[in-house]
Structure 1
């Protein structure tokens, strides 16, 4: 009732001030998000065109180097030593190249920038393409034979007065393009990637796509085949042997790639494979020579990008929101001031119902009617707590009398019970039981062997092993103890715990007929504490066992003799 009064006051006020704000915010969001979305797409396309110009500039510079080398007289002389010297010098001046090399028109490599011996390249795909076109071009991405990395190459004709006499090749590291793309990344949720003329990834934030030649046109990725030693396999023409695997690309993105490779520019929206709304801008990169167009794709997460629109709306509505929030806060504080003290007393009543009498009612309740009620309530709690303390002291006195009676027969049992009570209380706390439950378990643990009062002294204090008949007598002590304690008022639950502290989880304990969770929780806790203390104490018929042995034995009996959950809590206590 009290919470509903506060809630009603709060809701009425909120509805009066929030509905106009929401209506205004929705309208503003529509207008601003539309304008921001348009501006964002325009900016993304401008950025993408800028990236394309930078890529073209990088390719043009490398193209110019290759063109200059192909016209060098030391290259066209086809003196291998002179060619190698020129290629090595050029490679050192232009680190974007992975390899520079010269082929004759028959496909034999006469020199390269690494200085390795030449070989027959007439079977390579790029050689066949060049001899067919006999014009310069920038190639698709492919794996090199030198270090098995992905590159794109520039191929130039080498002429003499007699005509075409060879080919100059320049393997351009894709790392240089990758670095350029990473430098031009425009922010969180946005990235750019480059595709060659056949749709193969040249640069991408996910470098694995570059390494595996992801193709957004054929929707495949290409993996080099390797032998058992991890060495790439090649055919008789030294081409890499590869295997293609399918990849998944959103249909709309597939269309965008085709448009870009055909020379178009623009923007589009699509959902990625995770269901995220994406905005992309695309354009072509027109490469020199007889080369296919490349494509630049810039992708923005629409939700992240539209956060700008949300920020603008927040700024526009901030002043109004402060005033409205202030009004709501005042109403809330007023309703809280009226109902909070009574709610605190309601919580205190619940704690008292659970037997938690020793926590005072905290707070300044003033001197009004509610305050006077709170002070009277606190006086009542203090009186109940005093009565509870007196009852606990009475129980303790009863326990002391019983323990003294038992001690007169068996001095070991007294110290044993005190240590079992200490262990059991710690395990109960580790299990998160309430103070009241811990108190009951402590009582039961102190009295768990009280039934030994009814066991004859010659059995109780016997130095050797007990006979079967004597064991039958000894097994009566839990039942005897329960009968003794049950005669004390309000001790029925403790008596039940004492009766079953030798019951086993698997039902093989005594007295029989009870197993598993039907055994009182306190009895299951005391069973573990009792066994551990007994094993680590000197007995009339043996010396104390080691701590390590006792722990191992307790672990071994989890799930059959003992509750495994209790064992887990006990082991944590033991580790501490």
Structure 2
């Protein structure tokens, strides 16, 4: 959208620009598109967004996918995506402002819920401070932070150690125990995000033995990267679902002892 030259053209009326944004909303399945000028003022509402992280990031020339924030318009927790508006639609030229869209507040939770590696797998997403921004249990979003909570609840220490590594941008796997069950927690940073990290936990009992764990973790991380590389718009929902289905089916075969089928 930031390279649609009409939205940077001062000769184009506000009504015409609103029409362009409305078309983009329908095309990508997003809502509340805004054009924000270089001073942080929304063209349509006049509201000031100059203090928002997404404004600062996109004014620096970056596409931005940040943590959920409280919308000034709806008052609800909202996920904002933004991109620079390039003068004359020429990428890398002068920045004439930014364009933003809101994703549905359940968008990330829906993706996390669909990361199913095995019957007892569990997935979550944290921001750059370790706060949960997506979880199969939606009540934990914006509330849970194992790094802080482990200071008083020592049972959370193994999970806090993983989340600390995520905040540091590391990837790997750790053994953890939950409800008396031995599990493996694979984790990786989310590229092109605002320091997000994703964790996918599987119960060792769902697989045949220790010899499969490294393979399991490799594919867990492959699933994570495949899914989250398409997270920026609902337009890609089918692209999310199809690789996910293939990877999940591959893991089920691993659990049954099939080491020959290729990862899809």
Quick check: 1:207 aligned with 2:138? yes
Q: Secondary structure at the match of 2:46?
A: coil
Structure with greater strand share of residues? 2
Alpha-carbon distance between aligned partners in 2 of 1:146 and 1:247, rounded to the nearest angstrom: 37
User: In the TM superposition, what are the counterparts of 1:150-299 in structure 2 within 5 Å?
Assistant: 150-160=77-87, 163-210=94-141, 212-219=142-149, 250-272=156-178, 276-287=181-192, 291-299=193-201
- Cα separation, partners in 2 of 1:200 and 1:171, compared to 1, 3 Å: farther
Map of 1:70 onto structure 2: 2
Map of 2:50 onto structure 1: 122
| Alpha-carbon offset, residue 165 of structure 1 | 2.0
Alpha-carbon distance between aligned partners in 2 of 1:279 and 1:98, rounded to the nearest angstrom: 37
| Alpha-carbon offset, residue 216 of structure 1 | 4.3
User: In the TM superposition, what are the counterparts of 1:347-358 in structure 2 within 5 Å?
Assistant: none
| Alpha-carbon offset, residue 213 of structure 1 | 4.7
Q: Secondary structure at the match of 2:19?
A: helix
Per-residue CA distance 1:341-387 (angstroms, 9 max, x = gap): xxxxxxxxxxxxxxxxxxxxxxxxxxxxxxxxxxxxxxxxxxxxxxx
- Cα separation, partners in 2 of 1:275 and 1:147, compared to 1, 3 Å: farther
TM-score for both structures, normalised by structure 1: 0.32
| CA RMSD in angstroms, aligned pairs only | 3.0
Q: Is this contact kept in 2: 1:140–1:200, CA < 8 A?
A: no
User: In the TM superposition, what are the counterparts of 1:28-427 in structure 2 within 5 Å?
Assistant: 69-78=1-10, 79-95=13-29, 97-111=30-44, 117-128=45-56, 130-131=58-59, 133-160=60-87, 163-210=94-141, 212-219=142-149, 250-272=156-178, 276-287=181-192, 291-302=193-204, 304-305=205-206
Q: Is this contact kept in 2: 1:150–1:173, CA < 8 A?
A: no
Alpha-carbon distance between aligned partners in 2 of 1:265 and 1:137, rounded to the nearest angstrom: 22
Map of 1:12 onto structure 2: none
TM-score for both structures, normalised by structure 2: 0.64
Alpha-carbon distance between aligned partners in 1 of 2:153 and 2:18, rounded to the nearest angstrom: 42
Q: Secondary structure at the match of 1:156?
A: strand
Q: Is this contact kept in 1: 2:146–2:157, CA < 8 A?
A: no
Q: Is this contact kept in 1: 2:57–2:64, CA < 8 A?
A: no
Q: Is this contact kept in 2: 1:267–1:281, CA < 8 A?
A: yes
Map of 2:214 onto structure 1: none
Alpha-carbon distance between aligned partners in 1 of 2:202 and 2:188, rounded to the nearest angstrom: 15
Q: Is this contact kept in 2: 1:250–1:270, CA < 8 A?
A: no
Q: Is this contact kept in 2: 1:142–1:213, CA < 8 A?
A: no
User: In the TM superposition, what are the counterparts of 1:387-536 in structure 2 within 5 Å?
Assistant: none
Q: Secondary structure at the match of 2:48?
A: coil
Q: Secondary structure at the match of 2:159?
A: helix
- Cα separation, partners in 2 of 1:188 and 1:294, compared to 1, 3 Å: same
Q: Secondary structure at the match of 1:300?
A: strand
Structure with greater helix share of residues? 1
- Cα separation, partners in 2 of 1:198 and 1:86, compared to 1, 3 Å: farther
**Gapped runs of 5+ residues in structure 1?**
1-68, 112-116, 221-245, 310-576
Alpha-carbon distance between aligned partners in 2 of 1:125 and 1:266, rounded to the nearest angstrom: 29
| Alpha-carbon offset, residue 180 of structure 1 | 2.5
Q: Is this contact kept in 1: 2:66–2:80, CA < 8 A?
A: yes
Q: Is this contact kept in 1: 2:131–2:143, CA < 8 A?
A: yes
Per-residue CA distance 1:509-537 (angstroms, 9 max, x = gap): xxxxxxxxxxxxxxxxxxxxxxxxxxxxx
**Gapped runs of 5+ residues in structure 2?**
210-264
Q: Secondary structure at the match of 1:71?
A: coil
| Alpha-carbon offset, residue 168 of structure 1 | 1.0
Alpha-carbon distance between aligned partners in 2 of 1:171 and 1:249, rounded to the nearest angstrom: 36
| Alpha-carbon offset, residue 206 of structure 1 | 0.4
Map of 1:545 onto structure 2: none
Q: How many residues align?
A: 202
Q: Is this contact kept in 2: 1:141–1:200, CA < 8 A?
A: no
* Larger relative contact order (Cα-Cα within 8 Å, sequence gap ≥ 6): 2
Q: Is this contact kept in 1: 2:37–2:96, CA < 8 A?
A: yes
